[in-house]
Chain A
Amino acid sequence: MKDAIITTEDLRFTYHTGGGEGQLVLDGIHLQITQGEFVAILGHNGSGKSTLAKHMNAILLPTGGTVWVGGMDTKEENSLLDIRRTVGMVFQNPDNQIVANVVEEDVAFAPENLGLPPEEIRRRVDDALRQVGMYEYRTHAPHLLSGGQKQRVAIAGVIAMRPRCVVLDEPTAMLDPLGRGEVLRAVRTLNETAGVTVVLITHHMDEAALANRLIVMSGGRIFSDGTPKQVFQQVEALRGVGLAVPDTVALLWALRQAGVDVPLDAISDEDCANVLFPLLAPDRKEL
């Protein structure tokens, strides 16, 4: 039984804008994320997904309930640094995460904060940059990089701490398709080869489809929790909470509505084509 890296118990969070009533953003979240998982958290703007993410490394503290990271209670002030080196976080805006003038200096920021010896820092910086494919750019100035490259540098800066888990809060929201692809590839590699737990907050269906577990949030609660195949089948329900499904699933669902008997769990291009082919050319054998 793999251990849980992040656990929340009846997590509640009320956002106070100063004076008077607050706004209930998280309404009792019970969640457990195990080491090695690739979890995508989907939700419309205002569903609480970003707020949930910020509880995972103690940027926000719960107003009710508890959050444990690697067995540590996030409310414990003494555990703060340990929590933050266990769960790293990457944000939406690539520019506002980069501290230094030179790529490798920025990636070194976290290990430097941890007080590691210079040779160890050097090693980690090189490793991290290689893992995200940015090693050749190590002496470049960050402001001259593309969005996707900047985000990869930000990711490298986080994995230089060798965290057990990385939370990414809509990391591709400000990127073009090329940049999105770069970042998602880097994240996938991280999870698959280094076994780092990945929590990806997004509202892009195609990104969520890459995960092995999907959590859908709505109105501060968990609406659905399962594999992408399981979750995307609830087409109407997802539309009801302000989300969409990948076009492949939307097509299959539309066909189902018209009386055609097709499964709804063929998300990828290949799977969808394989489902449709026998309908269109039943006498031809698949190649």
Chain B
Amino acid sequence: MIETQQLSHTYSAGTPFAREALTEVDFTAYRGEYLGIIGHTGSGKSTLIQHLNALLKPTSGTVRVAGQDIWRSKAVTRATRFQVGLVFQYPEYQLFEETVYRDISFGPKNMGLDETEIDRRVRQAAAFTGLDETLLSQSPFELSGGQKRRVAIAGVIAMEPSVLILDEPTAGLDPVGSEELLENIREYHRARQATILLVSHSMEDMARTVDRIVVMDGGRIPLTGTPREVFAHGDELERIGLGVPQITRVFHRLNAMGAEIDPSVYTVAQAREVILATLRKRGALHGN
């Protein structure tokens, strides 16, 4: 669905402050998948995602969406912004309109759609992000932090992008708020068969939600694969400074202590199954 070939980007090229943020990156996101991107501040993940919706222009290399080079023409570049929706960190700081309705409609309006279409999209986007219809006529600045964030995300969803990129959408939210938001995103994924790219620091969040993980470090992609595959490289992740989910750590420890157990678990549910299975095998489980 989206791919980059030998993508490189240097900030402030040609000045003494030049900094190469991406080095010959080959990145692919398949249609309809739920992909996780993980990496430190400075790993290049923000730079990468800003290339995917044509906010940044490659210093060298290409970016293709649905097979087409997004820099082919101005029209294509502009259309990419609407096809690939990008939600930045702390998106609630970009709200500016007088009412929630008008703020959410900013994207669709820029797309040149007619009133009825805009209305449909705004209401649907609000529903996806769990915003009650009564909030539409209120000023976004009267809402709580969590609600404001939903408005901002709805503003991007209203463009009905086929690719949705979210940069740390749960940053600053409490566990319940986090879970609700991730659920909303999952809903969108299912309903629209959209390709979702989730950028996050939380190994645990990643483990629970995504189909595939891309690890970034120093402007390159050292690791990709399913969560199971990626978390098996505990040492390398440690070296990069990323680590693995707590459950995986515990199981690695058990393994090191001598227990014969498959350490490639990464969620509590999986861990529970593995342990119960082992206990059943030994006949050590009472009842159940």
In-complex Cβ contact of B175 among A173, A174, A203, A248 (8 A):
A203
Known contacts A258-B272, A279-B275; A45/B177 CB under 8 A: yes
> Which stretch from A6-14, A56-64, A266-274 is at the chain B interface?
A266-274
Interface string of B249-267 (1 = CB under 8 A from A): 1100110011111000000
Task: Determine whether the beta carbon of A242 is less than 8 Å from that of B175.
Answer: yes
Known contacts A45-B177, A146-B41, A277-B257; A247/B276 CB under 8 A: no
Task: Determine whether the beta carbon of A242 is less than 8 Å from that of B176.
Answer: yes
**A242-287: which residues lie under 8 A (CB-CB) from chain B?**
242-244, 246-248, 250-251, 254-255, 258-260, 269-270, 272-273, 276-277, 279-282, 284, 286-287
> Is B271 positioned at the interface, with any CB of A under 8 Å from its CB?
yes
Nearest chain B CB to A150's CB is how many angstroms away?
Answer: 12
> Is A176 positioned at the interface, with any CB of B under 8 Å from its CB?
yes
> Is A1 positioned at the interface, with any CB of B under 8 Å from its CB?
no
> Is A115 positioned at the interface, with any CB of B under 8 Å from its CB?
no
In the bound complex, residues from chain A placing their C-beta under 8 Å from that of B171 are 173-174
In the bound complex, residues from chain A placing their C-beta under 8 Å from that of B250 are 248, 251, 269, 272-273, 276
> Is A221 positioned at the interface, with any CB of B under 8 Å from its CB?
no
Docked CA distance A49–B256 (Å): 40
In the bound complex, residues from chain B placing their C-beta under 8 Å from that of A260 are 275-276, 279, 285
> Is B204 positioned at the interface, with any CB of A under 8 Å from its CB?
yes
Nearest chain B CB to A204's CB is how many angstroms away?
Answer: 9
Could you jot down 28 A-B contacts, CB within 8 Å?
Answer: A44-B176, A176-B40, A176-B41, A178-B40, A243-B174, A243-B175, A247-B204, A247-B245, A247-B246, A247-B247, A248-B246, A248-B247, A251-B247, A251-B250, A251-B268, A251-B272, A258-B288, A259-B285, A259-B288, A260-B275, A260-B276, A269-B250, A270-B253, A272-B250, A273-B257, A276-B259, A277-B258, A279-B279
Task: Determine whether the beta carbon of A177 is less than 8 Å from that of B201.
Answer: yes
Docked CA distance A176–B200 (Å): 9
Docked CA distance A205–B269 (Å): 19
In the bound complex, residues from chain B placing their C-beta under 8 Å from that of A284 are 258-259
Task: Determine whether the beta carbon of A280 is less than 8 Å from that of B285.
Answer: no
In-complex Cβ contact of B254 among A146, A258, A276 (8 A):
A276
Nearest chain A CB to B237's CB is how many angstroms away?
Answer: 12
Docked CA distance A176–B43 (Å): 12
In the bound complex, residues from chain B placing their C-beta under 8 Å from that of A251 are 247, 250, 268, 271-272, 275
Known contacts A284-B258, A284-B259; A255/B253 CB under 8 A: no
A-B pair count, CB < 8 Å, reads: 114
> Is B111 positioned at the interface, with any CB of A under 8 Å from its CB?
no
Task: Determine whether the beta carbon of B246 is less than 8 Å from that of A45.
Answer: no
Counting from the closest, the 4 A-B pairs by CB-CB distance are: A242-B176, A273-B253, A244-B175, A203-B174
> Is B222 positioned at the interface, with any CB of A under 8 Å from its CB?
no
> Is B172 positioned at the interface, with any CB of A under 8 Å from its CB?
yes
Task: Determine whether the beta carbon of A254 is less than 8 Å from that of B175.
Answer: no
Pick the most buried of A242, A246, A247, A284: most chain B CB atoms within 10 A of its CB: A247
In the bound complex, residues from chain A placing their C-beta under 8 Å from that of B275 are 251, 255, 260, 276, 279-280
Docked CA distance A251–B243 (Å): 19
Task: Determine whether the beta carbon of A255 is less than 8 Å from that of B257.
Answer: no
Docked CA distance A243–B40 (Å): 26
Chain A residue, CB-CB nearest to B255: A273
Nearest chain A CB to B213's CB is how many angstroms away?
Answer: 16
Given contacts A46-B144, A176-B41, A258-B272, 5 further A-B contacts (CB under 8 A): A44-B177, A254-B272, A259-B286, A259-B287, A280-B261
In the bound complex, residues from chain B placing their C-beta under 8 Å from that of A269 are 246, 249-250, 253
> Is B225 positioned at the interface, with any CB of A under 8 Å from its CB?
no
> Is B145 positioned at the interface, with any CB of A under 8 Å from its CB?
yes
Nearest chain A CB to B234's CB is how many angstroms away?
Answer: 12
Task: Determine whether the beta carbon of B243 is less than 8 Å from that of A279.
Answer: no
Docked CA distance A269–B176 (Å): 24
**B137-186: which residues lie under 8 A (CB-CB) from chain A?**
144-146, 171-177
In the bound complex, residues from chain B placing their C-beta under 8 Å from that of A179 are 41
Docked CA distance A178–B243 (Å): 11
Interface string of B35-64 (1 = CB under 8 A from A): 000001100000000000000000000000
Task: Determine whether the beta carbon of A44 is less than 8 Å from that of B175.
Answer: yes
Nearest chain A CB to B198's CB is how many angstroms away?
Answer: 15
In the bound complex, residues from chain B placing their C-beta under 8 Å from that of A258 are 272, 276, 285, 288
In the bound complex, residues from chain B placing their C-beta under 8 Å from that of A46 are 144
Nearest chain B CB to A215's CB is how many angstroms away?
Answer: 16
Docked CA distance A179–B146 (Å): 23
In the bound complex, residues from chain A placing their C-beta under 8 Å from that of B241 are 177-178
Task: Determine whether the beta carbon of B258 is less than 8 Å from that of A281.
Answer: yes
Nearest chain B CB to A161's CB is how many angstroms away?
Answer: 28
In the bound complex, residues from chain B placing their C-beta under 8 Å from that of A277 are 254, 257-259
Known contacts A44-B174, A258-B276; A280/B146 CB under 8 A: no
Nearest chain B CB to A266's CB is how many angstroms away?
Answer: 10
Nearest chain B CB to A53's CB is how many angstroms away?
Answer: 15
Docked CA distance A255–B171 (Å): 30
Interface string of A170-190 (1 = CB under 8 A from B): 000110111100000000000
